[in-house]
Structure 1
Amino acid sequence: MRSVSPLTILNRAQLGLLLIMVGNILYSCGASAEQFVAGRNSLGLVWLLQVGFAVAAAHFTRQWIIATATSELGKLEQIAQSAISVWNIYAYSPVFMAIALVIASNIDQPAAPLFPLVNVIVPFGILFALVRTFTQTVSRWIEQRTQVLRGGSEPEQNSTALLQKWLTALAVLHGLTVLTLFNSFDPTAIHTQVEIINNVLTSVYGALGLTGILGVKRAVALIGARTAEAHGEPVSAWTIPPQSSKRRSKGWTIVLSSVAALLLAAVFGLVVLGQKVQAEERPGSLGLPTSVTANGEQIYGHPDAPITVTEYADFQCPGCQWFATSERHRFLKSEIRSGKVKVVFADFPLAFHNNAVPAAIAARCAAKVEQFWVYHDALYVEQDKWARMDDPSSFFLRLARRLKVPEKDFLECLHNPTTLTQVERSVKRGEALDLPGTPSFAVNGKVVPWKEDGDVQDTLTSVEQVVHSLLERGSNGP
């Protein structure tokens, strides 16, 4: 058998473990940043701290590989025991994470924790079973290879093949994680800067993890081949001196620390940027001035704009969803930004949409704390989740919590009959205009008729034509 270079093993293992650790740091920073932006600081810290488990396991495994490659067989067993102990602790990381998430979510949102205990038992129980099986395989492999390297015989049940299968499965999972990036290109979804950053980081985590795992997988195979050459004799002919490994260890620490610092700075810098541009990325307000009519209807655009376009919409209406998520940010954009047009959102829930009225009420309650447009966007983005629920009230409440709408004010508004009355009055005003359906539009109080066999895009084109005609005539009237 061709001799396996210990330098090759060391390089492959170190590079693979480095990529895996950097990937874990990236993923944890992205998940943590998303929690911090949402105001869940305790959960953000949990995501940052959880990376320590993977980093510790990778570090001690690397120390063991260095010992095997530098003829330090006297230390090998001691280092192996340390690595095995860390992997055994890592096996319980899902349990530690579940407990930490439950405690942190109760600290952040005591009235309605994001991770109640009942919701984490099953998923984290399954995760614990998988992680424990994997870590036991790694520990058994390290133990067996150590025995062989010290002159022991090859065990009947070689754990190398099983570990290779686990690494293949993990490589496939990380490869699938790369596809997370494509979530940012979903044309029906609205993404904030932070959400896009998190998708990118998750995809990079998958790519780095995939590359790193393949490197480790190859190193495992090389170690298996090298130890097989021992034939029951202690391996003492490795060619890398301990001094060389120490220099490599120092370089490893410097590289890892530098990468971690740069990633942390980049992630949190982008979070700050995301918070600044978040309002402009929301199609609802377009980063423009917002105000409210005397009837409680929401306006975006300059309040003194001479032309008023009123959208009569139903939160459960598919056409309204398409307009809100795909076209609103383009609709009359230059005319609105120039102060010539303002847009009013008026509730017109249709009778056959059972959840449209509760959704309209919830949005008006979010408006009480100046969160209407954010809530409006979220309702349309997640319409498919709540539209068919028998009772969507719990979903609307969770959405309010996620968007940092004060729970007490939100609940008081939901149960205030005045809010329902406002929605009903809005419906009556729409009925008085004999609206054909939703979404419908009126320009300066005059309804723009639907085209026969037309769609929402045709209606928008008609509205734009009416607005442009008024602007050309310099008239405020219909």
Structure 2
Amino acid sequence: MLATRRNILSLVGATAAVSGGAALYLHGRKLPVAQADASTPASTPVAAPAVVPAIPAPPANAGPNSPFGQRSIGSPTAPVTAHEYFSLTCTHCAEFATVTMPQVKPNLVDTGKLQIIYHDFPLDQVALMAAQVARYLPPDEYYPFIEALFAAQNDWAFQPNEDYHASIYKYAALAGMDQTTFNAALADDKLKAFILQGQQEAEALDHIDATPTFIINGRMYPGAMAYDDFAAAVAKAAAG
């Protein structure tokens, strides 16, 4: 099943406010590397030079608890940092979240070996809405919420004739978000522009064109990596 399982909705209108209307994602966008050739391991790293993750500057008055702040898990002093580019409607991102992360978090994150920094890379309007809502939760509730959305992806993201506002709100309410905050999240055009700007910079500067993609201490790994491959990449990064 392709990451573009649902027909991808154009983000041209939302993107216009950021880049003058350049279309980033249309129905014919490039498919994730992990699906392009089954004979090529998804964890095959991209060659040097090292990649420096593109991170958009938040508004001047945005603190760490604002929707514009960094969303991450793990110690900021961990020897290895993994930047994950993901879309909440990407089935391969959901695979990594539900199959690999249950081993990554206790073995690598909770032990102080790894910090994971999350970067929104929405493939469609539904993923963009969900990303905005996720960022309106307190930072310590961000990871549990996106993991819950990935675990229930088929329930809220792919149902025919779905009322996506209602289906996303169902999970936001379980996370403690009220309707007023939910509506404010979806109406926040500055946050929408911030997410899309980060997505555009990641594509233009780091050549991110697949979800999920990981940048582990400057080395790029596209695709939903199995735990052994991911742990090996982290070990390699730790060894220098």
TM range (shorter): 0.5 to 0.7
Equivalences, count: 174
Q: Could you report, residue by residue, the CA deviation over 1:59-99 in whole angstroms, capped at 9, with x for unpaired residues?
A: xxxxxxxxxxxxxxxxxxxxxxxxxxxxxxxxxxxxxxxxx
C-alpha distance in 2, partners of 1:341/1:380?
21
Task: State the AA in 2 paired with 1:375.
Answer: F
Shift of 1:461: 4.3
What SS class does the counterpart of residue 309 from structure 1 fall into? strand
Match of 2:170 in 1: 398
Which structure: larger Rg? 1
Match of 2:234 in 1: 467
- Whichever structure has more strand as a proportion of its residues is 2
Match of 1:448 in 2: 221
Match of 2:206 in 1: 433
Match of 1:89 in 2: none
Q: Could you report, residue by residue, the CA deviation over 1:85-139 in whole angstroms, capped at 9, with x for unpaired residues?
A: xxxxxxxxxxxxxxxxxxxxxxxxxxxxxxxxxxxxxxxxxxxxxxxxxxxxxxx
Mapping 1:84-99, distance limit 5 Å: none
Equivalent pair of 1:292/1:299 in contact (CA under 8 Å): no
Match of 2:144 in 1: 374
Shift of 1:399: 2.0
Aligned match for 2:135, one of 344, 349, 364: 364
Mapping 1:61-460, distance limit 5 Å: 296-331=69-104, 333-350=106-123, 353-367=124-138, 370-388=140-158, 389-431=161-203, 432-449=205-222, 456-457=224-225
Shift of 1:325: 1.7
C-alpha distance in 1, partners of 2:174/2:229?
37
C-alpha distance in 1, partners of 2:167/2:127?
13
* 1:465–1:332 distance in 2 versus 1, CA, 3 Å: farther
Task: State the AA in 2 paired with 1:470.
Answer: A
User: Normalising by structure 1, what TM-score?
Assistant: 0.33
- Whichever structure has more helix as a proportion of its residues is 1
Shift of 1:471: 2.0
Structure 2 stretches lacking a partner, 5+ long: 1-63
C-alpha distance in 1, partners of 2:232/2:65?
26
C-alpha distance in 1, partners of 2:94/2:181?
27
Structure 1 stretches lacking a partner, 5+ long: 1-290, 451-455, 474-478
Sequence identity of aligned pairs in percent?
24
C-alpha distance in 2, partners of 1:294/1:412?
11
* 1:396–1:428 distance in 2 versus 1, CA, 3 Å: same
C-alpha distance in 2, partners of 1:293/1:430?
21
C-alpha distance in 1, partners of 2:202/2:138?
21
C-alpha distance in 1, partners of 2:228/2:207?
21
What SS class does the counterpart of residue 104 from structure 2 fall into? coil
Task: State the AA in 2 paired with 1:379.
Answer: L
Q: Could you report, residue by residue, the CA deviation over 1:339-383 in whole angstroms, capped at 9, with x for unpaired residues?
A: 231011111112xx4411111112112246x42123212211221
What SS class does the counterpart of residue 233 from structure 2 fall into? helix
Runs of 4+ displaced beyond 4 Å: 291-295
- Kindly indicate whether structure 1 or structure 2 has the higher relative contact order, using CA contacts under 8 Å at least 6 residues apart: 2
Shift of 1:462: 4.2
Task: State the AA in 2 paired with 1:302.
Answer: S
C-alpha distance in 2, partners of 1:338/1:359?
29
C-alpha distance in 1, partners of 2:228/2:107?
15
C-alpha distance in 2, partners of 1:444/1:294?
25
Task: Say what the alpha-carbon RMSD is for the aligned residues.
Answer: 2.6
Task: State the AA in 2 paired with 1:349.
Answer: P
Equivalent pair of 2:72/2:116 in contact (CA under 8 Å): yes
Shift of 1:295: 5.3
User: Normalising by structure 2, what TM-score?
Assistant: 0.63
Shift of 1:328: 0.5
C-alpha distance in 2, partners of 1:449/1:377?
20
Q: Could you report, residue by residue, the CA deviation over 1:4-50 in whole angstroms, capped at 9, with x for unpaired residues?
A: xxxxxxxxxxxxxxxxxxxxxxxxxxxxxxxxxxxxxxxxxxxxxxx
